[in-house]
Structure 1
């Protein structure tokens, strides 16, 4: 396989880096016309004839995580992490239009009543937990500090409160036993049908531009709708079985197979310490089951992702760095979006 190098194209004038932190409507027909002209001007060929097939996997680049003042803005250590990440990400996409075969954005997708939202839990005073500042452990449930809100059983288990209690306890216990983060009660976020669920406008525009210029359909992947489990990773939920060892949710076997078949997979998005790290970790697990050397096909854009940091509350910077160090040790490439990277050297 011949190697290919990134960073070959200029950035089109339609991209405005000052608007990355804003929400706005993409003018699709105007951008489509520009993208077709851009492809002709720069001799950008259809993705269908790519000899080296490169996937750009974008994790949860949504308003809820990436726009300041939205529910779970990932500020990182600088306080403006996701905004700067997405500016670099858009530039990376435009500069590498001719090399990126397929773009796969994931969409964290939630409804109100889910196990990680405040409404699901109450204390003895019938108060809900404080979001982002509350973790729920098996011991908390055993001591009665937190219990399932009886009122939500009607929506989730057809009114069977005992069944829901059993599941909730099993769930938080499994998280502990599997070495996962404890159950975090998050603010309501990525709400299906809401503006927070949408892709960041600048990124949406870049993906649309790529789709037209390369004639390659953007492949959206949904995760997080199951009310009884978290789903940080796009490849699998946090817990697969219920307390009776019956299937609770499924791995995304179709996407796993697809990713392993690409010649290179580039990963970016939010947050580095959570959905990005868990997705990469699950991908690495699948790789090791097939061929550990396939890890060399994975490239992590470290300047297009940031960890969860809430000053005075939580800081997952070290967990994110430890995870990326583990990925690098397994053979994955930790790179910057501005670097000259050669794909194909592993064959």
Structure 2
């Protein structure tokens, strides 16, 4: 691989945490045209950069579900490093493939889906277990009835209650994250759904400079299941054996598998990155146990979800750093490479 490129003059990492920052598309086009003749493309196969859920609600402190990690600065610092990594490696990255968590208010992980015995929605970060549902501490809100599949609508609340028990039991059986009521986040059409400005700037500059395709993966819009992974729902099936969540379109995954190298960054290492990489590696291993060696995880390009108390200390039951650390170790055992944004790609393991 060639030497990394110098950072462009418009790049300002100090703007990584600014909600209001917007890239200058016209200026980026002019900069790309001026720089195109100096771009040296790396030969030797296609390199895709998979950016998992780099969206304002996750990446910026004002966001609805900011991923600050234990330091409180996690996603902001990650954003600056990822953007710099893109600019330094414009000749080596053939495609940037972002995923977008895409939600509406009435989904199983949002407050509008639930009420307590008094008819009040639960507060954010409420953990929903089988014991809570079986004891009647939380119930589906009346609006959920409108989401029922037509073939079971006549069964009403009884069907929904059985489905919700099936859901939390399935999560436990599969070793997935417990169901959590998250703050409303990444609502489609909202500012929080968009990329942070520094990432959008790097993404646009790459596309303009290289004339590159800009595929994107939209996920998470089904009301009946969480979709941490970019490649499938947490619990797609019904308690009665049918399918509840619409089948995932595998076209994006098949397209990604055509890359010779897949570099991964995004938010959060404990949730959406974790399950996306797990699904990616599982599909690779099913095809060829050696394929995970094509995957490179940017460890300093992601942070874990950590809930902090008023004093800024991690809340143990909301600190998912151990889950992220376990994932890094497991991915390495499967053959994926754990790398850093600051190490030149030419020095990465082949």
- Structures share fold, TM-score greater than 0.5: yes
Which SS does the other structure have where 2:195 is aligned? coil
Q: Is the 8 A contact 2:339 2:348 kept in 1?
A: no
Q: Which of 125, 128, 141 is 1:149 aligned to?
A: 141
Q: Which of 171, 174, 194 is 2:170 aligned to?
A: 174
Q: Which of 11, 17, 42 is 1:21 aligned to?
A: 17
Once residues 306 and 287 of structure 1 are traced to their aligned partners in structure 2, the CA distance between those partners, rounded to angstroms, is 24
The unaligned stretches of length 5 or more in structure 1 are none
Once residues 299 and 331 of structure 2 are traced to their aligned partners in structure 1, the CA distance between those partners, rounded to angstroms, is 12
In the alignment, what sits opposite 2:312?
none
**Equivalent residues in 2 for 1:84-233, closer than 5 Å:** 84-132=77-125, 134-157=126-149, 160-233=156-229
Normalising by structure 2, we get a TM-score of 0.92
Q: Which of 20, 25, 33 is 2:30 aligned to?
A: 33
RMSD (CA atoms): 1.8
Once residues 86 and 290 of structure 1 are traced to their aligned partners in structure 2, the CA distance between those partners, rounded to angstroms, is 33
Q: Taking structure 1 as reference, are residues 190 and 326 closer, same or farther at Cα in structure 2, changes over 3 Å only?
A: same
Deviation for aligned residue 1:155? 4.7
Q: Is the 8 A contact 1:234 1:252 kept in 2?
A: no
The unaligned stretches of length 5 or more in structure 2 are 310-314
Once residues 98 and 326 of structure 1 are traced to their aligned partners in structure 2, the CA distance between those partners, rounded to angstroms, is 30
Deviation for aligned residue 1:250? 2.2
Q: Which of 239, 246, 249 is 1:249 aligned to?
A: 246
Q: Is the 8 A contact 1:263 1:344 kept in 2?
A: no
1:318 aligns with 2:309: no
Once residues 344 and 12 of structure 1 are traced to their aligned partners in structure 2, the CA distance between those partners, rounded to angstroms, is 23
Once residues 165 and 146 of structure 1 are traced to their aligned partners in structure 2, the CA distance between those partners, rounded to angstroms, is 10
Which SS does the other structure have where 1:58 is aligned? strand
Deviations 1:307-327 (A, max 9, x none): 011124311111100111000
Q: Is the 8 A contact 2:81 2:301 kept in 1?
A: yes
Deviations 1:18-42 (A, max 9, x none): 11111323221221111121122x1
Stretch deviating more after TM superposition (293-302 or 169-178): 169-178
Normalising by structure 1, we get a TM-score of 0.92
**Equivalent residues in 2 for 1:44-63, closer than 5 Å:** 44-45=40-41, 51-63=44-56
- Tell me the matched-pair count: 337
